[in-house]
Structure formats: C-alpha cells, structure tokens
Amino acid sequence: MTKDSPSNTILNLLTQLASLLVLAYGLGYYIGWHEADGYYEKLGIRWFVSLLTPYDLARKSIDFISIIFSSSLISFYLILNNKHEFLLKLQRIISFVSGFSLIIYSLRGFFDQYPKTLFELNKFNYYLIAIAIGIVISIVVTRFKEHDNKIDKASFFSMIYIFLFGSWLVPYCFGGYMAVRDITPSTTYLSKVKINNIEWRLVEATNEKALLVFLGKENIGNKFKVIETKDIETNP
C-alpha cells in the first residue's frame, strides 16, 4: 500500500477527525466546567457542579465550541485563498477583539440593575471571544505548517490573552450572569414544574438528578431542591 493510496488518505482523514473530536470534547469540558462553576457559585450552590458528568459539562459549551470551529474553518478557507495578506489582517482582528472584549468586561458594573441587558452584553462578548479563539487556532496551525514563527508581539500577547481570558474568565462570568437572569422572576427562562402542587423552576436535569428552585420575591427566599428526575415526570 503506497503512501498516497486512497486507503492511507482515508486513514489520515479519520485520524485527524478523531483528534479534532477529542480536542473539541476536551475544550468543551474545560469551558463548560468554568461556565457551570460561575453559574452555580452565583446561585450559592457551587457543590452541584460535582454532580454533573463530563458530558453534562461539555454540553454546556456546545454553542461556544461550534462557533470556535466555524470561525477556524472560515479563517482557514480565507487564508488558503489569500494566505499572507489575510494572515496579517487576522492578527489585527485578534488585537481588536482582545481590546474590545476587555472594554466590555470593564463596563459590566454599570449594568448590575439590568440583569437582562447585562446577560446580553456578556453573551455578545462570549461569542466574540469564541470567534477570536477560532481565528487564533487557524493562525497558529498555518504558522506551524509553514514553519514560520514570525508573529509580532502585539498579536502574540493578544493570542495569550484570548486563550486565558476567553477559555476561563469569559465562560465563568457568562455563567454568573446567566444565573442572575435565571433567578430573577421577570427575566427567567427556567421551565416551570409542579411538585406536590407547588410551582418550581427546573434549573438542571441530569440522567438521575434534577435541580429545582423556588423563586422568592426579589431573589429573597429562593429555595433549592435536588430530586430524582423520574419524580418530575410522574408529577402532573
């Protein structure tokens, strides 16, 4: 079987696909864990994170990971069609996104009284950083394949900043702001369930456990309860 035979080509593609899936799952778990950590810490029940499986955590970041890989694929396509010139443009985009996301993060304190606005603002930042991470991946892979380590200092520090800030702090803060939105009666998206004729909100459901919250007025008197998932299904 020759090196360039169809069998070898298919095998290489399958190997690369498997590596990509492992990378996506690992990155999804890491980002999802930070998002869940921020969410449940804000609710005051950080211990619930320990009940979530790796799959539950990875599933939380599915949108984030999808945007990262979509951004990478688009960037690769554009680089291949206008390689060197567009690579420089991508580096400038990274620097812009890096600074803009920092501005958004620094302004978060001005919107504490507007949980929905605060959530939407951080959601925009969340997706912006995902696009930037995808661009970083395309640049690093392209440079590696070309054995070219010439990346200017501004772009290099922007890449480091985006990976550290984007994969840790942004998901953590996004989870916290999502929690504020969910426990505010006027902005919550949590589904209603009834247990013993009392209305609760479903926060999280795993294969075996479900986390419920009873929303008090103005976030005072919130009560949490963990029950078996089957108990929700059997209650009217």
Highest-confidence segment of 2-11, 124-133, 157-166: 124-133
Q: Does the predicted TM-score (pTM) go above 0.95?
A: no
Candidates 173, 189, 187; CA nearest to 219 is: 187
Share of the chain above pLDDT 70, in %: 77
Q: Does residue 236 register a pLDDT over 50?
A: no
pLDDT at residue 34 in the model? 92
Whether the CB-CB separation of 68 and 27 falls below 8 Å is answered with yes
- Determine the pLDDT at residue 107: 73
Report pLDDT for 198.
81
Three-class DSSP category at 99: helix
pLDDT band per the 50, 70, 90 thresholds, residue 235: very low
| Residues 176 and 38 sit within 8 Å (Cβ to Cβ) | yes
Coil, helix or strand at residue 221: coil
As a whole-number percent, the residues of the chain with pLDDT over 90 amount to 6
User: Looking at residue 220, what is its pLDDT?
Assistant: 67
pLDDT tens by residue, 181-234: 888 887 888 888 888 778 889 999 887 788 999 887 766 678 888 888 777 754
**Residue 83: pLDDT over 70:** no
Whether the CB-CB separation of 132 and 142 falls below 8 Å is answered with no
The reported pLDDT for the residue numbered 4 is 52
For tokens 């951004």, what's the residue? 71
Write out pLDDT tens, residues 93-109. 777 777 777 777 777 66
- Looking at residue 114, what DSSP letter applies? -
The Cα 92–Cα 26 span in angstroms is 28
Question: For position 41, what pLDDT does the model report?
Answer: 93
Q: Tokens 């955590």 sit at which residue? A: 57
* Bigger pLDDT: 24 vs 54: 54
